Amino acid sequence: MAEAERPQIYLITPPVFELGAFTETLKAVLDAHEIACLRLSLAERDEDSLSRAGDALREVTHARDVPIVVENHVLLAGRLGLDGVHLTDTRKNIRKMRDEMGADAIIGAYCGITRHDGMNAAEAGADYVSFGPVGASTLGDGHSVDFELFEWWSAMIEVPVVAEGALTVELVEKYGPVTDFFGVGTEIWATEDASAALKALLQPLG
């Protein structure tokens, strides 16, 4: 695969983590790999917990020139000096959000397995659209996104696309030519060495 075609890596935090330990793990991964972005994706909705995590992880990522976005929490992104927001509800008004957050903010949209939602988000001004799960997963209704959607998107749409959810080495090899980013999260964080696990997962990209 040519270097220009090589997908970038978009890290997704675990839904639950111990902040001190995860911060050290994240440092090791960022120092060993070229990472395009980090998404703070905590299941916790307590604002205090989210703020502590956002503060700590922003320090780690910004020290390495890696942007960080938070899932859904627009106000928190502004308050903590994060780089943007990742929306899991595509019914949110992206155009209005862009006006509020400014032109430089990153606004991404998760669109499940639905091309229509992805096109709407792209037309509304999202900086990227993510589809998934790519692999077999118990998330959602159990369906995974069709490879043909990524083939079509990469040929027809300029807005970058993220492939995420239940990634395997085989899926990285298959989707590499038709995606701009791989969203990697639980695939590596549950292992003893997240950096080594990421390297193994990305082996097909060379």
CATH number where 7 lies: 3.20.20.70
Please state, in angstroms and rounded to a whole number, the distance separating the CA atoms of residues 29 and 45: 26
Rounded percentage of the chain residues whose pLDDT exceeds 70: 96
> Given a cut of 60, is residue 1 above it in pLDDT?
no
Please state, in angstroms and rounded to a whole number, the distance separating the CA atoms of residues 69 and 80: 10
> Given a cut of 80, is residue 33 above it in pLDDT?
yes
Output the CA–CA distances (angstroms, integers) from residue 175 to 28, 103, 184, in the order listed: 26, 30, 13
Output the CA–CA distances (angstroms, integers) from residue 35 to 111, 124, 126, 166, 192, in the order listed: 22, 26, 20, 19, 20
- Domain count of the chain? 1
Please state, in angstroms and rounded to a whole number, the distance separating the CA atoms of residues 111 and 75: 22
- The per-residue pLDDT for 171 is 98
- The per-residue pLDDT for 91 is 77
- E-strand spans in 13-160? 37-40, 68-71, 84-87, 106-110, 128-131
Please state, in angstroms and rounded to a whole number, the distance separating the CA atoms of residues 92 and 76: 16
Average pLDDT of 27-32? 98
Average pLDDT of 8-28? 97
- The per-residue pLDDT for 141 is 63
Average pLDDT of 96-117? 94
- The per-residue pLDDT for 2 is 36
Residue range of the domain that includes 75? 3-205
Average pLDDT of 118-147? 89
